Amino acid sequence: MVSLGPSRVDHIPALRIAVGLAIPMAVLLLTDRTEWAMYAGFGAFTGIYSRYEPTRLRFRRQSLAAAMLTICVTLGAALAQLGERMPPLAESWTALLVGAVVAGLSATFVLARGLKPGGAVFPLFAVAAVAAAPPAAPVWVAFLFAGSCASLCVVLGLLGHWAGERHPGAEVRPAMETWTRAQLGMEFGRFAVAAALAGMLGLASGLPFPYWAQIAAIALLAAPGRTLQIERGLHRVVGTTLGVVTTAFLLSFPAEPWQLVVWIVVLQFIAELYVLRNYAFALLFITPLALLMVQLAHPQPVGPTLEARVLETAIGVVVGIAVVIAAALWNRRSARRAPAVEG
């Protein structure tokens, strides 16, 4: 938990990703539209996909990620509009269940298309966070702005080739993994069930942001192997707790929107420097990045928000680990049945 993995010229993709976020954020500041910050942020998450891959492959996969994230932001904006006309409880349950389905579908899509990073954290975060905030713009504006930011990141991914983000064998197309329907169905089930259960417990707890429990539950499922999944869950709790302390420090001073934007961009850069080297350490920067981005678009009371982040993360991690253990027991039971059926 305290050691760093080897460096792989991480500053080059980290700078590219940070620039992909900085440009639309600067546009929002100049046009006094900081309430659109989440549209920009989630669209800009496109740049995180397909690091350390050949340029042509990165273009194809980032284009898929851009489409996925734009759809998720648009869906979140539509849910926010719909929620204005629904009772609060119905609105919460609708967002929770839609988020669970999105988690399952996006995780399956990411697996089938070989996108990296795996899992469904960014799509679920895009849908749930935008849906939980008051509508900041018409749905078509959310679609166009998120799509524009995502497209910018795809272009920056191409330019990264000339900035030094090249790789040996860049013209070699890696073999595509194939997955059976059963495997894809299992992926959908793991993510959808974990997100649904965590969201229900988060909602039952009375805490203000149940989707944070959903995100924490599925974040650990993307790690390869059950041992690493449980380890990532523990990292998530420790890293998020320390990241909340970092956020509390940053928000302890009066801050103008431009100052929050500067912090968001800097935190994005630092997080990308370390996220592949030590997940828990990177959460020191990922947590305040996410909280400041939401705070910029939709300000909330700082104390209750930070407390809820820690508690809901703990709920989500417990659910995620329970899903990992349940899946392991199911697979073991199925393996015992197989010889009996063959016999």
| Section 88-103 average pLDDT | 95
Most confident stretch, 138-147, 246-255, 299-308: 138-147
Q: Quick one: what percent of the chain has pLDDT higher than 90?
A: 71
Q: What is the pLDDT of residue 170?
A: 46
Q: Quick one: what percent of the chain has pLDDT higher than 70?
A: 91
Cα angle vertex 324, ends 322, 327, to 5°?
A: 105
| Section 96-116 average pLDDT | 96
39 near 144, Cβ under 8 Å? no
DSSP assignment of 126-189 equals: HHHHHHHSPP-S-HHHHHHHHHHHHHHHHHHHHHTTTTT---TTTTPPPPPP---HHHHHHHHH
Task: List alpha helices for the chain, DSSP H.
Answer: 11-31, 37-44, 55-83, 88-113, 121-132, 139-159, 181-205, 210-219, 226-250, 257-274, 279-297, 302-342
Give the model confidence (pLDDT) of 297-309 as tens digits.
888 888 899 999 9
Q: What is the pLDDT of residue 223?
A: 86
Which of the four pLDDT bands, split at 50, 70 and 90, describes residue 5? low
| Section 125-143 average pLDDT | 95
Please state, in angstroms and rounded to a whole number, the distance separating the CA atoms of residues 24 and 195.
30
Q: What is the mean pLDDT of the chain?
A: 90
Q: How far is CA 130 from CA 32, 177, 226, 238, 256, in A?
A: 19, 33, 31, 26, 22
Q: What is the pLDDT of residue 128?
A: 96
Give the pair of three-digit tokens for residue 234.
């523990």
Q: What is the pLDDT of residue 183?
A: 86
Q: What are the residue boundaries of the structural domains of the chain, listed by start?
A: 11-166+181-342
Q: What is the pLDDT of residue 9?
A: 77
**Which backbone phi and psi does 173 adopt, to 5 degrees?**
-85, 120
Residue 186 pLDDT > 50, yes or no? yes
Which of the four pLDDT bands, split at 50, 70 and 90, describes residue 291? very high
Residue 312 pLDDT > 90, yes or no? yes
Q: How far is CA 307 from CA 9, 34, 126, 177, 248, in A?
A: 36, 25, 22, 41, 10
**Which backbone phi and psi does 262 adopt, to 5 degrees?**
-60, -45
Which of the four pLDDT bands, split at 50, 70 and 90, describes residue 329? confident
